[in-house]
Amino acid sequence: MSRVQSIERAFSVLGALADGPIGVTEVAARVGLPKSTAARMLGSLEREGAVEQVPGETRYRLGPRIATLASGRPETRGLVAIAHPALVELAAETGEATGLSVPDGRTVHYIDQVDSPNPVQVRDWTGSRIPMHAVSSGQVFLAYFSPSALARFLATPLEAFTPGTLTDAATLLERLRDVRRDGHAWVREEFAEGIASVAAGIAGADGELIAAVHVHGPIYRFPAAGSERVIAGAVTAAAARIGTRLRGGL
């Protein structure tokens, strides 16, 4: 199959889903493809976030990345405007850099950062996209994936960025259970050596996580001994405030 033909078929599959969720068999019938080819196309598009399975079903629907691309990310700009004051407050409270991220396919997309008041700072990650398993905000998103979505994520080998990256599926699943229990994720030198971070999820109107707020800093000073619970509480509270504002509260 040529690259151009692959693109044409991908758009045909997306067009078949435009009127609402349907199964693989109906997708194949609508676009005139063998069922096996339609299934492969859906799998590829799902890995990119362009389509997703309806939770608890086998039907597919257009994914969040399509809405994002079509709208030019106005919802992201609105999210940044709402969340930024809370990031400023959190940076002042913790003394470290704070950031905001959203899920983007298999990655986390960092969309805002407030630098630490400390003269020794970490880099600005705004604009970066990083695989979910390697960062605290990504692990928060993964912790609330549906079982089928998480299984698909783990079906692809997990890349190692440092000796501390969680690349074993069983080990990552154990971490995600802790994240669901605690309501936040701590990561230490799993994406970049010398950096620790903690993140908590931001719930949208339907209760699903749409973003995450995090604090990160150099591991030699962050987190200070015995401060993990207080810092995690501050991050969780900031995420809750942002969520309330997003849902129309004050």
Q: What is the mean pLDDT of residues 80-96?
A: 93
Q: Which amino acid is at 48?
A: E
Top-confidence residue, 89 or 105: 89
Structure-token pair, residue 133? 């398993």
With a cut of 50, say whether residue 73 has pLDDT above it. Answer: no
* Confidence at residue 3, expressed as pLDDT on a 0 to 100 scale: 54
| Mean pLDDT value of segment 214-218 | 96
One domain for residues 52 and 116: no
Is 90 exceeded by the pLDDT of residue 7? no
Q: Number of folded domains in the chain? A: 2
Tell me the mean pLDDT in the region 173-199. 97
Is 54 a residue whose pLDDT tops 80?
no
Residue 95 has pLDDT above 50, yes or no: yes
Least confident of 6-10, 70-74, 238-242: 70-74
Domain, as residue range, for 63: 3-70
DSSP 60-78: EEE-HHHHHHHHTSHHHHH
Same domain, residue pair 48 and 63: yes
Length of the chain equals 250
Q: How many whole angstroms separate alpha carbon 213 and alpha carbon 100?
A: 5
Same domain, 119 and 24: no
User: Based on the domain organization, do 83 and 55 belong to the same domain?
Assistant: no
CB 27 within 8 A of CB 19: no
> Are 58 and 81 contained in the same domain?
no
Name residues whose C-beta falls within 8 Å of residue 214's C-beta, 6 or more positions apart in sequence.
Answer: 98, 99, 100, 101, 135, 136, 137, 197, 198, 199, 200, 235
**Whether the predicted pLDDT of 75 surpasses 60:** no
- For residue 62, pLDDT over 80 is answered with no
Quick one: 197 and 123 in the same domain? yes
Residues 43 and 82 occupy one common structural domain: no
Answer with the one of 31, 46, 70 that is the final residue of a domain: 70
**Higher per-residue confidence, 72 vs 247:** 247
Residues 78, 39, single domain; the answer is no
Residues 24 and 123 in one domain: no
CA distances from 67 to 6, 54, 120 (A): 21, 16, 38
Beta strands in the chain (DSSP E): 51-53, 60-62, 97-104, 107-114, 129-131, 185-188, 195-203, 209-218
Cα–Cα dist 86/92, whole Å: 10
The pLDDT of residue 71 is above 50? no
Q: Which CATH number is 50's domain given?
A: 1.10.10.10
pTM for this entry = 0.70
Listed residues 21, 55, 70: the one ending a domain: 70
Mean pLDDT for 192-219 is 93
* Residue 236 to residue 201: CA distance in whole angstroms: 8
**3-class DSSP state of 218:** strand
Last residue of a domain, one of 70, 85, 108: 70
pLDDT, residue 77, reads 66
Q: What is the CATH number of the domain that holds 185?
A: 3.30.450.40
Same domain? 172 vs 202: yes
The packing angle between helices 24-31 and 35-47, to 10°, is 110
Residue 23 has pLDDT above 50, yes or no: yes
34 and 46 housed in the same domain: yes
Q: Same domain, yes or no, for 61 and 80?
A: no
